[in-house]
């Protein structure tokens, strides 16, 4: 895999003298338009596999988080409070 040559930012686009010397590969602010369908199809098989695993991981993480939250809420809602429990025990003892 060949590494591309640096792509200097033209002086007309640079906001200051420092930005004019920043190259494409070390510019942290440089951002593409994201992953489009065309870029996804044109990407290497290895990159697509990584992207799919990443998406599955994100969906799985938030799915488990949602499931755990639902279980926690249902257990909290269904739990009998200690005051209710003692009053139920008093009623059972009086019978």
C-alpha distances out from residue 56 to 17, 27, 59, 69, Å: 43, 30, 5, 20
pLDDT for the residue numbered 51 = 86
> Taking the chain (95 residues) in consecutive chunks of 10 residues, what is each chunk's mean pLDDT?
59 54 52 59 79 94 97 79 59 60
Environment class of 27 (CB within 10 Å of its CB; exposed 0-12, middle 13-18, buried 19+) = middle
pLDDT for the residue numbered 15 = 56
- Write out the two tokens for 94: 């009086």
pLDDT for the residue numbered 67 = 97
Q: Domain-by-domain residue ranges, the chain? A: 1-31, 35-94
């Amino acid at each position: 895999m060949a590494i591309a040559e640096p792509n200097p930012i033209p002086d007309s686009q640079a906001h200051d003298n420092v930005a004019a010397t920043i190259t494409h590969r070390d510019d942290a602010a440089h951002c593409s338009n994201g992953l489009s369908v065309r870029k996804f199809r044109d990407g290497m098989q290895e990159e697509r596999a990584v992207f799919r695993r990443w998406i599955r991981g994100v969906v799985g993480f938030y799915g488990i988080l949602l499931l755990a939250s639902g279980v926690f809420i249902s257990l909290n809602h269904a739990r009998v409070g200690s005051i209710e429990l003692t009053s139920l025990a008093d009623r059972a003892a009086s019978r």
